[in-house]
Structure 1
Amino acid sequence: MATVADAQRDVDHPPREDIRLAGVLAALADPIRMRVVRELAAAGTTKSCVAFELPVSKSTCTHHFRVLREAGVIRQSYRGTARMNDLRRDDLDALFPGLLAALLLAAGTEVDHA
């Protein structure tokens, strides 16, 4: 449950109508960001930033999460001191039907052949 302190630390997100295909594709062109999205999709639930084991520094992780958030791919919120991440699947599916599923499938195939 969100607390007053959590509400004061709300994170800005673009509204659904401001999410653009070019921004989503640019955000997902990076393999680290695509990995984050694949992990969120596979988990099917909220994950904290620290739950991701990414091969980059903490500051670089922060950058990647910010790019995904600003593109409208993820939603971030605070739970206590943890920054939590959710995939904005409903928004992306409504705006770009089938895109997320196709990208996740393609990324999975790419990883399987690596």
Structure 2
Amino acid sequence: MQTPSATASTSRVLEHPAREDIRLESVLHALSDPMRLLVVRSLAAAGTEQSCSVLDLPISKSTTTHHFRVLRECGVVSQIYRGTAKMNALRRDDLEALFPGLLDSVLTAADRQAERPGEDR
């Protein structure tokens, strides 16, 4: 039987797919959403893990939570609790090992698209 403190600590562990379970179609689906792509671009630009609250997304907190969950469940980001903050980091090494050049190509294309006249992101 687990103690209450052991139960509390395990409930704060988030599940992530193992590297070998990350699927290309799931990654591409996650990256196809403009808000999720904005999150990935922000994490890539930061170069280090960031809390969810650092990103100022123009959507509700519940929708933000959904987007982070999709990114985590498909293997694009890892999430870990540090105290009360949920920290996020790109799974760059895993994605590069599975799909060489994909993340950098998507980020470069997104940056170029953002530079076009009339783009607001």
Q: TM-score range by the shorter chain?
A: over 0.9
Query: Compared with structure 1, are the counterparts of its residues 5 and 45 closer, same or farther at alpha carbon in structure 2 (3 Å cutoff)?
Result: farther
**1:60-114, Cα deviation, whole Å (9 max, x unpaired):** 0000000000010000000000000010000000000000000000000011112
1:51-90 alignment, distance < 5 Å = 51-90=54-93
2:36 aligned with 1:33, yes or no?
yes
Instruction: Please name the residue that 1:107 is paired with.
Output: 110
Q: Distance in 2 between matches of 1:98 and 1:111?
A: 20
Ranked by relative contact order (alpha carbons within 8 Å, sequence separation 6 or more), the top structure is 1
Q: Distance in 2 between matches of 1:14 and 1:75?
A: 9
Report the equivalent of 2:48. 45
Letter in 2 for 1:17: E
Q: Which SS does the other structure have where 1:83 is aligned?
A: strand
**Unmatched segments (≥5 aa) in structure 1:** none
Q: Aligned Cα RMSD in Å?
A: 1.4
> What is the distance in 1 between the residues matched to 2:94 and 2:42?
18
Per the normalisation by structure 1, the TM-score is 0.94
The residue that corresponds to 2:95 in the other structure is 92
Percentage of identical aligned residues: 61
Distance 1:71 1:45, change over 3 A: same
Divergent runs of 4+, >4 A? 4-7
The answer for the alignment partner of 2:18 in structure 1 is 15
CA distance in 2 between partners of 1:35 and 1:108 (Å):
10
Q: Which runs of 5+ in 2 are unaligned?
A: 1-5
